[in-house]
């Protein structure tokens, strides 16, 4: 088979635009590309040519081999089964199917073997989960993760195109001496931090925090992993950062952890405090590697226990969403092309 017939659903959104770019950058063997969104009448550039965006409909996935979904969960829930029934392999970025035991939840650097068990739908994990696990999985393999405490600093583009536009609007209004109202976020995000992403549950955790806990357990196959998260929206345009405090079964010194991370797939170690070298979202943006640094001992653990602290930054639109999905699709396409 010379190439695959591919659809990108949600092509006009923050993640979809990146998907189209990354398919081209990574020279994915696309035979034909169908761009889908809520409405047509627009075009996007693909291989240097304007390509029409179509409104999604019952025949949108006919003849499609693989479909990248970058739409909200309720839209995925409606259309992913339609595409999968028609024979396409769907890689879905929403939270709709992530905890379904029948659906593999995959970070290719961590659990690529799970892809083989798919039944038409493969889920891309939450962006903060991907960014944390690219750094933590190699440490887990070396020393066994027992406990994770994560505090996130999440960029506004994590809330899509509208989130990005809201921060830009508020910053411009501030420069003019006026204020722009908040509509995407519950409070002004410019010059602020909002410890509230997605809905609260009855225990006062947010869904975003629970996604990180549940998805990490599923991907690492560590159902007993103890996780506590605080997810915070920060006035950063792009790339999420996370402070990760871990406790491991076996001892792991900061030097050993750095050695492991230096050779870990998908990781760029930036950890030289004397040279002011550490991860920052501005510099992780536009890249696929997760930047890891500030590796140090956690002295707050009890005597005889093993604690480490790390700081990571990663482009959540690329590795936290679009790149991860395209990497999965690359692995799926190897099988599809072999069996064609």
Binding site for ligand NAP (CB under 6 A): 10-16, 37-39, 56, 70-73, 75, 93-94, 127, 157-158, 160-162, 316-317, 320-321
CA 259 – CA 72 distance, rounded (Å): 39
Residue sitting closest to ligand NAP (CB): 13
Shortest distance in whole angstroms from residue 16 CB to ligand NAP: 5
Our CB check for ligand NAP shows the closer of 90 and 261 to be 90
Angle made by CA atoms 149, 254, 282, in degrees to the nearest 5? 65
Nearest approach, Cβ of 149 to ligand NAP (angstroms)? 22
Q: Which residues make Cβ contacts (< 8 Å) with residue 198, sequence separation at least 6?
A: 206, 207, 208, 211
Extract the tokens encoding 25: 């950058």
| Rg over CA atoms, the chain | 20
Is the CB of 170 or the CB of 324 nearer to ligand NAP?
324
DSSP 8-state assignment for residue 155:
-
Q: Given 118, 127, 229, 231, which residue is catalytic?
A: 127
Task: Kindly tell me which of 107 and 308 has the beta carbon lying closer to ligand NAP.
Answer: 107
User: 301: part of which helix (H) or strand (E)?
Assistant: none
Nearer to ligand NAP, 82 or 309 (CB): 82
Beta pairing, strands 89-92 & 66-69 = parallel
Is 231 catalytic? The answer is no
> Residue 139 or 328: which CB sits closer to ligand NAP?
328
Q: Whole-number minimum distance, CB 140 to ligand NAP, in Å?
A: 22
- Give start and end residues of each alpha helix (H) in the chain: 14-25, 73-85, 127-143, 161-175, 207-220, 254-262, 281-284, 323-339
SS3 203: coil
- 49 CB contacts (<8 Å, ≥6 apart)? none
State the nearest-atom distance from the C-beta of 118 to ligand NAP, in Å: 19
- Of these residues, 65, 118, 140, 240, which one is catalytic? 240
CB of 115 to ligand NAP, least distance (A): 18
Q: Which residues are catalytic?
A: 127, 240
């Amino acid at each position: 088979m010379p190439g695959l017939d591919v659809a990108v659903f949600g092509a006009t959104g923050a993640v979809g635009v990146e998907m189209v770019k990354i398919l081209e950058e990574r020279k994915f063997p696309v035979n034909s590309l169908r761009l889908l969104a809520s409405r047509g009448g627009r075009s996007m550039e693909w291989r240097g040519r304007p390509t029409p965006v179509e409104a999604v409909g019952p025949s949108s996935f006919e003849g499609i081999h693989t479909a990248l979904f970058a739409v909200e969960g309720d839209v995925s829930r409606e259309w992913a089964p339609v595409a999968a029934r028609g024979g396409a392999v769907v890689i879905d970025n929403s939270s709709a199917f992530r905890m379904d035991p029948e659906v593999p939840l995959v970070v290719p650097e961590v659990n690529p073997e799970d892809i083989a068990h798919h039944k038409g739908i493969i889920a891309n994990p939450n962006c903060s989960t991907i960014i944390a696990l690219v750094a933590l999985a190699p440490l887990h393999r070396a020393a066994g993760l027992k406990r994770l405490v994560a505090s996130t600093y999440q960029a506004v583009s994590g809330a899509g195109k509208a989130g990005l536009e809201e921060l830009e609007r508020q910053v411009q209004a501030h420069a003019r001496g006026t204020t722009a109202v908040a509509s995407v976020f519950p409070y002004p995000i410019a010059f602020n931090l909002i410890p509230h992403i997605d809905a609260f549950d009855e225990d006062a955790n947010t869904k975003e925090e629970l996604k990180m806990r549940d998805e990490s357990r599923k991907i690492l196959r560590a159902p007993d992993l103890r996780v506590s998260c605080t997810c915070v929206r920060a006035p950063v345009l792009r790339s999420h950062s996370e402070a990760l405090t871990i406790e491991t079964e076996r001892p792991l010194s900061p030097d050993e952890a750095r050695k492991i991370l230096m050779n870990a797939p998908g990781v760029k170690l930036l950890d030289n405090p004397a040279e002011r070298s550490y991860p920052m979202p501005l510099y992780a943006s536009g890249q696929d590697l997760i930047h890891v640094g500030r590796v140090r001992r956690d002295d707050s653990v009890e005597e005889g226990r093993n604690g480490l602290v790390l700081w990571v930054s990663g482009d959540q639109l690329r590795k936290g969403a679009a790149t991860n999905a395209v990497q999965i699709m690359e692995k799926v396409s190897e099988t599809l092309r072999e069996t064609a």
